[in-house]
Amino acid sequence: GTSSVTLTGTLEMINAAFSQELTYTVDEDWNGSDNITITFSDQGYTGSRCAAGTCESGERSDLCILTASTQVSVTVQAVNDAPTIVADGTSPEANTGVPTK
């Protein structure tokens, strides 16, 4: 599936959010590769004025919205789970072992 998080705020607020530790959480016992795409947008607050009222994105505006994207590759290694033992359901006699599967 695809998930997203939107952070909105001043440049200082966004920088502060990304300066903290980010945690990538997966389902239990999942391992493999994944990609995280991060897209930044200034929402038009620092964009330059566009010629003829058309932005690079094709939108009609006199102020261009600047965006940038980057992708982070993540690899989650498999965990070597501890072994488990399962008795076969029989009752052992005194001083004998328990049969296992």
pLDDT of residue 4: 76
Q: Tokens for 72, please give them.
A: 């982070």
Amino acid occupying residue 16? A
Q: How many domains does the chain have?
A: 1
pLDDT of residue 33: 93
Q: Tokens for 1, please give them.
A: 């599936």
| Within-domain flag for 101 | no
| Within-domain flag for 91 | no
Specify the higher pLDDT residue, 44 or 73: 73
| Within-domain flag for 63 | yes
Whole-structure pTM value: 0.53
| Within-domain flag for 85 | no
The residue segments making up the domain with residue 33 are 11-76
| Within-domain flag for 60 | yes
- DSSP result, 18-53: HHSPP-----TT--EEEEEEEEEE-TTSSPPBPGGG
Specify the higher pLDDT residue, 56 or 91: 91
pLDDT tens-digit map of 8-64 = 777 788 888 888 887 888 888 899 999 888 887 777 666 555 555 555 566 655 566
